[in-house]
Copies of this chain bind each other. A is one copy, B any other.
Amino acid sequence: MRLVDQSANAEASVRGEQTKRLIVDTAVRLFREHGYEKTTMRAIAQAAGLSVGNAYYYFPSKDHLVQEFYAQVQDAHHAAWTVASDAATEFVDRLRIAMLTGVEVMAAYHGFAGKFVKTAVEPGSPASPFSEDSRPARERSLALFRSVIDGSTIKIDDELRADLPELLWLSYMGVTLYWLHDMSPGQAKTRLLVEKAVPLIDRLVALSRLRLLRPITREALALYRLLR
């Protein structure tokens, strides 16, 4: 009896997962094809062959569907990074590859990504890159930037080393924010930003080991830890 019930529940939740997946895939496809705002909940439901109420049964709001979109971009970034970083051992090369592959996987969505950031920057929003809901995606992204360092031959100040992955991730968030507002053809300015800023970061990391700059590095790091 109990066994049967569990089996029924298991099958039911499998069906539920499939429906959930169907909604996400349809939504993301329509976002891609028509943009975020022009894709209505009614259109998503209709294209998926479901009722609007059913979509809201699985996702409390349209914003929550964006979260799933992030996850897909995240996966694409990870895949592209894994392939492209294979042979690179220099920190400066690995960081450039990490950022450029990130920009590349986002490229197709530049037209409407601006609509997403609206909800992402709002304090308390589940779509915020700093939110609890975003933790899984954030952890994966942080792991990527940890691998940028760990796979490289760079020497890093011991104290900086612990926080560097997070700092690189933050700078990648900054690049993303710039990219959103970058209206140059093919977002060429963002690529230029990466090409030029990455060597600067590389030099700063190296400089931070100098006696002259050590105090200010320590202070900046202490402040960062205090306020994050």
Chain A residues packing against B (C-beta within 8 Å): 114-115, 117-119, 121-124, 128, 130, 177-178, 180-181, 183, 189, 192-193, 196-197, 200, 203-204, 207, 212-213, 216, 219-220, 223, 226-227
Contact = CB atoms under 8 A, between A and B. Distances in A.
Contacts of A180: 121, 123
B193 A223 contact: yes
B193 A227 contact: yes
> So how many copies of this chain end up in the complex?
2
B114 A118 contact: no
Per DSSP, are chain A's interface residues mostly helix, strand or loop, or mixed? helix
Given A181-B123, A227-B189, A200 B212 contact: no
Contact of A212 (B123, B177, B212): B212
B117 A122 contact: yes
A189 B220 CA distance: 15
Contacts of A226: 192, 196
Nearest to A179: B123
Nearest to A204: B216
Nearest to A130: B181
A180 B120 CA distance: 13
Contact of A121 (B118, B124, B220): B118
A119 B122 contact: no
A148 to B, nearest CB: 21
A200 B227 contact: no
A190 to B, nearest CB: 9
A117 B181 CA distance: 15
B119 A114 contact: no
A122 B192 CA distance: 22
Contacts of A123: 114, 180-181, 183
A122 B113 CA distance: 9
Contacts of A196: 219, 223, 226
Contacts of A203: 216
Contact of A192 (B128, B212, B227): B227
